[in-house]
Amino acid sequence: MKISEIATVLEAEILCGEEHLERKIISACGSDMMSDVLAFVKQDAILLTGLVNPQVIRTAEMMDIMTIAFVRGKKCGEDIIELAKERGMVLIRSPLTMYTACGRLYASGLRGEDHGT
Amino acid sequence: MAHSEQSMKVSYTVLPDDFMRAGEASGALKKLLKELGFPSDTVRRCAIATYEGEMNMVIHAQGGVVEAIITPDTIELELRDTGPGISDIELAMTEGYSTASDAVRDIGFGAGMGLPNIQKYSDRMSLTSEVGVGTTLRMTIRSG
Ligand SMILES: Nc1ncnc2c1ncn2[C@@H]1O[C@H](COP(=O)(O)OP(=O)(O)O)[C@@H](O)[C@H]1O
Ligand SMILES: [Mg+2]
């Protein structure tokens, strides 16, 4: 799925990385615990999270995750957007809850790493 | 890094209580390893293990030092701090064990999975600590 399609499904606004919306995403992970995110390597993944802080960007960086969706419409500071920009990441913000956001993406065909293929 | 005799040593300082910059050392190391041409799996394992260790130094100690000795086929990492130390290493290594505060949990850490993650991503790890003196975490990551 392209990031642009994901943004549509999640009714999300783009916070940064407009130039990368054609990138393909093949898996997803939804978590507010960064060590859980760090525990399983995903390929071309999007991270959905209700947390908004610099550690979310750092965690994604270590995992080579280039796309992050903040759920529940959480406000995101300029310092965090700047960190993401420097790393060529795409940040989007969805008004949906974590449950609904994950459900919609799953129903659209985007699977988690534990699904097999 | 074409010859096996080649080795390179880098070190980074990790500041205490700076959650904006926590992860900078791991990020810088990751960038360097990538530039040196290590496979992405090696780079990622190193980055994750170092990042968990770096976060521990910020959360549980007062910052510290990250040192890496890089050769073409292995990365040796040493993370040293002069924090409170760990009295029961085996307990600290247990999945889910954490002494982190609620404030730390609120930023997404404190699941007690850091040290287990480090063990998972490194080929060898050793944790030595003395209460009141500090903690040293050593890890080896073999490339390829
Ligand atoms: N550098 C350190 N200095 C002091 N205590 C530490 C250090 N690293 C880890 N610990 C102790 O080990 C526990 C487990 O660490 P870890 O597995 O990373 O989980 P977490 O950081 O989520 O608590 C910590 O809660 C803390 O009590
Ligand atoms: Mg930890």
A29-42: pLDDT as tens digits: 999 999 999 998 88
Ligand of minimum distance to the alpha carbon of B117:
1
**Are A63 and B113 in contact (CB < 8 Å)?**
no
In a domain, A71, yes or no: yes
- For residue A84, is it within any domain? yes
List of residues 6+ apart from B31 with CB closer than 8 A: none
Number of domains in chain A: 1
CATH number of the structural domain spanning residue A69: 3.40.1390.20
- Which one of B32, B45, B117 would you mutate to disrupt binding with A, by most A Cβ within 10 Å of its Cβ? B117
What pLDDT digit, counting tens, does each position of A40-99 carry?
Answer: 888 899 999 999 999 999 999 999 999 999 999 889 999 999 999 999 999 999 999 999
**Would you say residue A69 lies in a domain?**
yes
Contact A62 B44 (CB under 8 A): yes
Whether B23 contacts chain A with CB within 8 A? yes
- Under the banding of pLDDT at 50, 70 and 90, the label for residue A117 is very low
Is residue A113 included in any domain, yes or no? Answer: no
pLDDT band at B133 (very low <50, low <70, confident <90, very high): very high
Inside any domain, residue A72: yes
Residue A78 lies in a domain: yes
Q: Which one of B12, B14, B45, B48 would you mutate to disrupt binding with A, by most A Cβ within 10 Å of its Cβ?
A: B48
Long-range contacts (CB closer than 8 Å, 24 or more residues apart) made by B81-84: B81/B14, B81/B57, B81/B134, B81/B135, B81/B136, B82/B133, B82/B134, B83/B57, B83/B134, B83/B135, B84/B60, B84/B131, B84/B132
Does residue A115 lie within any of the structural domains? Answer: no
C-alpha triplet A78, A82, A88: angle, nearest 5°: 140
Q: Is residue A48 part of a domain?
A: yes
Closest-approach residue (CA) in chain A for B119: A39
Tell me, in angstroms, the distance from the centre of ligand 1 to residue B99's CA: 7
Q: What number is the average pLDDT over the span A17-36?
A: 96
Secondary structure string (H, E, C) spanning chain A: CEHHHHHHHCCCEEEECHHHCCCECCEEEECCCHHHHHHCCCCCEEEEECCCCHHHHHHHHHHCCCEEEECCCCCCCHHHHHHHHHCCCEEEECCCCHHHHHHHHHHCCCEEHHHCC
Range of the structural domain that residue A8 is part of: 3-107
d(CA B139, CA B36): 19
Percentage of chain B with pLDDT > 90?
Answer: 95
